[in-house]
Amino acid sequence: MSARYEVRRSDKLGRYLIAAKDLKAGEKILSDEPFVLGPNSDTSLVCHNCYLPLISKFIVCKNCAVAPLCPGDGCPQPLAYNWHTNTECEFFRTLKLTKGLNPMIMVQNVGSLLIFRAMLKKKTDPQAWEEFMELETHMEKRKNTSIWQYYQNTVQFIESLDFFEGVDVNLVQKVCAAVDVNSFDVRGPQIPAIGCSEILRGVYLKASLLAHDCIGNTHMAINDNNLLVCHASINIKKGDVIYFNYSDPLKGTTLRQQHLLVGKYFKCTCLRCTDSTELGTYISSIICPECKIGLVSMGENGDWKCNNCKKDYAQSYIGKKIQSCSDKFDVINKKDEKELEEYIRNVSLLLAPNHYLLLEAKQRLAGVLRDLINREPHPTKKVMRRKIQLCNELLPIIEKLVPGISRTKAITMYELHATMVQLAKKKFDGREITGSGYMDELLNAEVFLKRALEMLFIEPGNSPEGELCAKALEEYRALKATINSVLDGIHAEGKTYVNAADREEHSQAQAVA
């Protein structure tokens, strides 16, 4: 099988990947095992072998008598990895005998476990360690900052273990930096029957080479076995840079830039970031306070201008308005339908229709309505129509900002189809629509379900999205059965079904005649 990517290097991007051949949307580009995986620096206590949260009690490893592990019957089986390896166990055992290392020291320093395990790779996997040490760290930008000071506890902990002769303090800080800059969030194992888990951090040596763009061309998934798989989200031509979006695509440019500067130490200059309209979505804009018609967006110089009356506004003035809307969103009950509706109604007077705060409120409201529809034995048509309206408002923006395969888009399309089917059945049962009208709405819903399935197919089977894919497949079979049943009913009445588009075309032709 021919290589799908090549590694290149430049002053701007450092090491990065380009497509070695034409790649189609949905095609796998690479898969990657974690170089190291572990809890965040501010984590609660987790099992050192499987990373399950240890809520109230733990046992210690019988061999080293140091590592905290799952109590009772131990870690759930089977495990893809035993993170408390034999090498680590023997190392701890030696330190217990020579340095007095004990379980409480490990409990107190669980936030340093990931860094320790990364450094242990220097001894256990020298080749991977060398690759890891080539990753970008931005050490000069971190020195003598608050993040540098924050990791001093980790430096002291690593030094106290004394497993590298004459360990360089800066080496520990460099490992911390490499992890911070290059790690991916990984969903940790869930406690059975409770469902809570820790968000872990994983460093993947291949995936770390993907360059950033706020309009990425890849889709990333990490399964329950911690394997990362990267697919093309759109068609990628041979020689094109392979991009992954490190930021949240449904946030405005200012927030994305802040995230990238703080966590990745660079300012993005992609097409979206340099476009004041953010590809025509106006996701960061507000309604012009002067003309009430135009949209005010931020230019390159930081000032804001209306696209209709051309009035200029100071950053401080616009910033206060947006911050006020953000503060209001922070204090409302995001599980309350009425509060969300009131928030949307009020801030719609100030913010552009696609503003990221409105998008988030609409996503939250769509989720609340979904739960309401699923919970109520007879949900109202009003609730269903509102849910459909919200999905239809969200999808064009998601499509624009996350082109091609998208997890958020797939879930939104699935949710839209489900409510469309429920509403169509309710109207048909109430004789508000004919069999042909019912067929129209079912076929429209089928379009969204098929598109959702096309995107969900590449999700890991043991992930929530993979489970949704399995559920969607069952619903697709049920939908096809319903469509066939309705079609049989139309035929039983001696009629022929003609789809809405053909009916419209026929009526237009008759009007012309």
Tell me: the pLDDT tens digits for 482-500?
Answer: 999 999 999 998 888 888 7
Q: Buried (b) or exposed (e) across 367-389, using 16+ Cβ within 10 A?
A: bbbbeebeeeeebeeebbebbbe
* Residue 316, beta-bridge partner list: none
Spans of all domains in the chain: 5-24+204-246, 36-199, 404-513
Q: What is the pLDDT of residue 127?
A: 96
Q: What is the pLDDT of residue 506?
A: 58
Edge-to-edge strand list for the sheet holding 312-313: 286-287, 295-298, 304-306, 312-313
Cis peptide before 78 (omega within 30 of 0): yes
What is the spatial distance between Cα 269 and Cα 250, in angstroms, rounded to a whole number? 17
Residue pair 58/45 in contact (Cβ under 8 Å)? The answer is yes
Residue 508 — very low, low, confident or very high, per pLDDT cuts 50/70/90? low
| The pLDDT of residue 62 is above 60 | yes
Q: Which residue has the higher pLDDT, 183 or 98?
A: 183
The pLDDT of 273-300, averaged and rounded, is 95
Q: pTM for this one?
A: 0.91
| The pLDDT of residue 122 is above 80 | yes
What is the spatial distance between Cα 17 and Cα 4, in angstroms, rounded to a whole number? 10
Residue 425 structure tokens? 């059945």
Q: What is the pLDDT of residue 165?
A: 63
Quick one: three-class SS letters along 19-74? ECCCECCCCEEEEECCCEEEECCCCCCECCCCCCECCCCCEECCCCCCCEECCCCC
Q: Which residue has the higher pLDDT, 74 or 371?
A: 371
Range among 59-73, 296-310, 338-352 with highest mean pLDDT value: 338-352
What is the spatial distance between Cα 263 and Cα 108, in angstroms, rounded to a whole number? 25
> For the segment 393-425, what is each residue's pLDDT rounded down to a tens digit?
999 999 999 999 999 999 999 999 999 999 999
What is the spatial distance between Cα 246 and Cα 264, in angstroms, rounded to a whole number? 9
Task: Say which residues have a Cβ less than 8 Å from residue 1's Cβ, sequence separation at least 6.
Answer: none
Helix extents (H) in 403-434: 407-429
Which contacts qualify for 487-491: CB closer than 8 Å, 24 or more apart? 487/439, 489/435, 490/435, 490/436, 490/439
> For the segment 420-451, what is each residue's pLDDT rounded down to a tens digit?
999 999 999 999 999 999 999 999 999 999 99
| The pLDDT of residue 50 is above 60 | yes
Q: How many Cα neighbours within 13 Å face the side chain of 208?
A: 25
Q: What is the pLDDT of residue 505?
A: 63
Residue pair 224/463 in contact (Cβ under 8 Å)? The answer is yes
Q: What is the pLDDT of residue 76?
A: 80
The per-residue pLDDT of the chain, averaged, comes to 92
What is the spatial distance between Cα 445 and Cα 413, in angstroms, rounded to a whole number? 9
What is the spatial distance between Cα 171 and Cα 235, in angstroms, rounded to a whole number? 40
Residue pair 289/393 in contact (Cβ under 8 Å)? The answer is no
> For the segment 191-207, what is each residue's pLDDT rounded down to a tens digit?
776 767 789 999 999 99
Q: What is the H or E stretch that residue 244 is in?
A: strand 243-244
> For the segment 332-362, what is each residue's pLDDT rounded down to a tens digit?
999 999 999 999 999 999 999 999 999 999 9
CATH class of 5-24+204-246: mainly beta
